[in-house]
Structure 1
Amino acid sequence: MAKNVVLLVCFVIMILDVIAGVLGIEAEIAQNKVEELRLWILECRDPSNKAFKLGLSATILLCLAHSLASLLGGCICIQSREELDRSSANKQLAFASLILSWIILAIAFTLLISGTMSNSSSRKDCGIIHHRLLSVGGIMCFIHGLLAVAYYISATATAREDTKLNQQGVHA
């Protein structure tokens, strides 16, 4: 039963990140359909309400996927280099994937929010061209999904290892 729960959680995390990625790319497509006026590297365009909604949805799903992986995966803390060297491979993988997933989350979140805010109905954008924020943010969601699933699986395996070690220590 526990393996089914792990599989279900991994599936949900990946689905949330894949949907977020697709929505980010769709938001970029909707943004590119808006009329624009270009002069060298300067561009003026009206905001796209559809791109705003899709970008906001992608951002929310990305945060939801990260929260789910982090909360259900638990906290894997390594406090020193010596502890890292003594740790099991699962714990090292959990720690590395946790750090990388936070970095990718920060990058993807920033790109998606920047692209979404440039499509806010309260602004008409004139400035330096900044295309592909939403689509690159969407692609980063796919990478985040892989790292979040890697973290969840390795954190779960680490918790099982710790439980087995504690049970063997009590019975020995």
Structure 2
Amino acid sequence: MGKGGKGGKSGCFSVTIVLCILVIVGLDFVAGIVAKQAEVAQDEVKHVKLWILECKAPSQKAFMLGIIALGCLLVAHIIAIIIGCSISNMVKVLVVPKLSAYLNMACLSLTWIVAILGAGLLTLGIWMNRESRSKCGFTDKHILSYGSKVCFAHAAFSVVLYVTTIVSKKCPL
């Protein structure tokens, strides 16, 4: 009976990990697709270009889609960090250095860096489409596209974070 209970917990743990990965990857992909749609909405707005200056009206649709993309990225990151990161792994790195624990901490750091970069790019894209901005200036109309690519990268790094978390808990290295 003891072996059956132990196997049940392991199976439940595996299902939980797979569901969490699917939710996080799904949210990151939704954020990336919505950010791409925001860029398309931004490109539909009428604009005039004079040499290096560009005069463009803000896009309310791009603004709202950018906020949705940023929200999805932030929720995916929060879930990834809460579930994929444990205090015990951080303590293991400090107390008993293991290669797998170092790998886990490196992936955790990369996940944070990618999330901050993505949030910054999406915020900049949102900022460019606010109603109160000046109409002319230097603009880069691909900011939301770059943000969407970083959202897709966040999905990949989150999966790697989960894999290294599982490996660091089971691997004796």
Same fold (TM over 0.5): yes
RMSD, aligned α-carbons: 1.8
For residues 98 and 157 of structure 1, what CA distance do their matches in structure 2 show?
Answer: 14
1:87 equivalent among 74, 95, 98: 98
| Superposed displacement of residue 160, structure 1 | 4.7
Counterpart check, 1:70 vs 2:94: no
Show CA shifts across 1:19-62 (max 9, x none).
00111111111000000011011001111011001111110110
1:139 equivalent among 143, 149, 162: 149
| Superposed displacement of residue 159, structure 1 | 3.5
Counterpart check, 1:151 vs 2:166: no
Q: Is the 8 A contact 1:13 1:148 kept in 2?
A: yes
Q: Is the 8 A contact 1:6 1:153 kept in 2?
A: no
- What does residue 18 of structure 2 align with? 7
- What does residue 53 of structure 1 align with? 64
| Superposed displacement of residue 2, structure 1 | 1.2
For residues 121 and 135 of structure 2, what CA distance do their matches in structure 1 show?
Answer: 17
For residues 96 and 55 of structure 1, what CA distance do their matches in structure 2 show?
Answer: 29
Larger deviation, residues 3-12 vs 150-159: 150-159
Structure 1 residues not aligned, in runs of 5+:
163-172
Q: Is the 8 A contact 2:85 2:108 kept in 1?
A: no
| Superposed displacement of residue 121, structure 1 | 1.8
Structure 2 residues not aligned, in runs of 5+:
1-11
| Superposed displacement of residue 105, structure 1 | 1.0
| Superposed displacement of residue 101, structure 1 | 1.1
How many residue pairs align between the two structures? 157
| Superposed displacement of residue 131, structure 1 | 1.5
Counterpart check, 1:104 vs 2:114: yes
Matched residue SS, 1:47: coil
For residues 135 and 69 of structure 1, what CA distance do their matches in structure 2 show?
Answer: 23
Show CA shifts across 1:39-87 (max 9, x none).
011001111011001111110110100100100122342349xx6xx41
Counterpart check, 1:126 vs 2:117: no
Matched residue SS, 2:137: strand
Percent of residue pairs identical: 34
Matched residue SS, 2:42: helix
One-letter amino acid of the structure 1 residue matched with residue 153 of structure 2: I
Counterpart check, 1:38 vs 2:46: no
Runs of 4+ in 1 over 3 A off after TM superposition: 159-162
Normalising by structure 1, we get a TM-score of: 0.84
Show CA shifts across 1:117-159 (max 9, x none).
1111222431112111001000000001110121123223423
For residues 79 and 36 of structure 1, what CA distance do their matches in structure 2 show?
Answer: 55
| Superposed displacement of residue 93, structure 1 | 2.7
